């Protein structure tokens, strides 16, 4: 089993108040026999002692971009040395630098030069984290394949409450061991989520009650197991979950179909959780339709996205579908499993007034596949998504003999 032993971990430290946690992180990494080298920003040196970190890591701590070692510039040498670059704590400033490709100090220069995986553990005030520019920068990094771990939600030193706190050291260690030990870090998972809007005219549309909460929870659960996640979302008011998640926003079923088919070839698992509208308007009116006593609208059937993915003959992923039903739950789900040629289907009851309604925070699922089924009882969608992802991975690995 792969462990942290002998792994070259370059720890990049920037000037967050959470820097005090780093001493424990370095101690734990060395206890697991990882080789740790530390790079500090100018601000971080005002908060902790460079000498202390040097003693704790048992290696020289670097901070000078012009330092030359045996004829080699240190930023190139460290960029090649690292198996992994871990930026913790990562301030809004260092996140912005890496997103923009700036290289004005040793740490940002190493990140620009390296081919190693970069993992960012944010730590900042929640207003700074929620700022549009910070969220934009984070999305840029996710799109490049950089992993974002955290932040946590909670009370901050300044008294504010919200997202921004650095993950606990225990959780960082757990995720590091998972990253190095799991084969899933190279797994590509595509997830569709939310409703689609089918326009009638510029101000009206046909849609459904889907909130996107289940699909977003699954995306987060997939990122937790180390997968590279592509989240294709219809119109929802949800924030992209933390983790290695590339989000693509769409409006209509045709747009979702196009994005899915354009990006499906390199996916290992496809999870069709979106509540895609079955029909769209035949003729969209470019002008607002005047109010009438009676209005006749002609509809045409939308593409069946999950069926098209399932019927691929080249680079077909493992296909997971959802079946939202109001009656004969398992019967209808089994029929869809067969007709759409799915590998696994998740059936849930969306009857009116049920606790696990399509827009609720809770859900329960019947998982059905060829030769078996399983019931996942009512839980918060975030918890249920983790249980579901575990079962998807089990079935995927069994089918692919991983």
Query: What whole-number distance in Å separates Cα of residue 357 and Cα of residue 376?
Result: 15
Bridge-partner residues for 90, per DSSP? Answer: 122
Nearest to 394 by CA among 366, 365, 374: 374
Asked if 180 and 8 touch (Cβ cutoff 8 Å), the reply is: no
Question: Does residue 306 contact residue 340 with C-beta atoms inside 8 Å?
Answer: yes
> Which spans in 144-273 are helix H?
169-181, 213-224, 253-263
Question: CA-to-CA distance for 396 and 402, rounded, in angstroms?
Answer: 8
Determine which one of 111, 158, 346, 402 is catalytic: 158
Helix locations, 5-62, DSSP H: 22-31, 50-57
Beta-bridge mates of residue 112: none
**Does 111 qualify as catalytic in the annotation?**
no
| Burial of residue 130, with CB atoms counted within 10 A of its CB: 0-12 exposed, 13-18 middle, 19 or more buried | middle
Active site (catalytic) residues: 158
């Amino acid at each position: 089993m792969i462990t942290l032993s002998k792994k070259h971990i370059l720890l990049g430290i920037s000037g967050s108040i959470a820097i005090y946690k780093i001493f424990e992180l370095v101690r734990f990494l060395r206890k697991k026999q990882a080789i740790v080298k530390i790079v500090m920003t100018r601000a971080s040196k005002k908060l902790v002692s460079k000498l202390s970190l040097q003693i704790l890591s048992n290696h020289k701590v670097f901070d000078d971009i012009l330092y030359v070692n045996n004829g080699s510039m240190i930023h190139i040498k460290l960029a090649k040395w690292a198996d992994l670059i871990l930026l913790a704590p990562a301030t809004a400033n260092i996140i912005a630098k890496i997103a923009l490709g700036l290289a004005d100090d040793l740490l940002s220069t190493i990140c620009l030069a390296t081919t190693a995986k970069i993992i960012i553990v944010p730590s900042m005030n929640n207003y700074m984290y929620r700022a549009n520019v910070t969220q934009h920068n984070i999305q840029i990094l996710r799109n490049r394949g950089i992993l974002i771990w955290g932040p946590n939600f909670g009370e901050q030193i300044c008294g504010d409450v919200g997202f921004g706190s650095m993950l606990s050291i225990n959780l960082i260690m757990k995720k590091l061991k998972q990253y190095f030990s799991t084969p899933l870090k190279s797994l590509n998972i595509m997830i569709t989520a939310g409703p689609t809007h089918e326009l009638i005219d510029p101000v009206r549309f046909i849609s459904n009650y889907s909130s996107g909460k289940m699909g977003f929870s699954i995306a987060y659960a997939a990122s937790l197991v180390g997968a590279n996640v592509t989240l294709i979302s219809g119109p929802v008011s949800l924030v992209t979950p933390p983790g290695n998640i590339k989000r693509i926003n769409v409006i209509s079923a045709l747009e979702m179909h196009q994005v899915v088919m354009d990006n499906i070839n390199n996916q290992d698992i496809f999870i069709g959780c979106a509540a895609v509208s079955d029909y769209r308007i035949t003729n969209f009116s470019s002008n607002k339709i005047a109010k009438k006593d009676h209005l006749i609208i002609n509809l045409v059937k939308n593409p069946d996205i999950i069926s098209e993915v399932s019927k691929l003959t080249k680079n077909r992923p493992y296909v997971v579908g959802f079946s939202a039903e109001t009656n004969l739950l398992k019967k209808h789900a089994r029929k869809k499993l067969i007709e759409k040629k799915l590998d696994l289907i998740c059936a849930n009851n969306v009857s009116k007034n049920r606790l696990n309604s399509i827009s609720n925070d809770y859900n329960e699922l019947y998982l059905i596949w060829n030769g078996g089924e399983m019931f996942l009882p009512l839980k918060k969608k975030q918890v249920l998504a983790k249980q579901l992802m575990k079962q998807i991975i089990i079935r995927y690995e069994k089918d692919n003999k991983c």
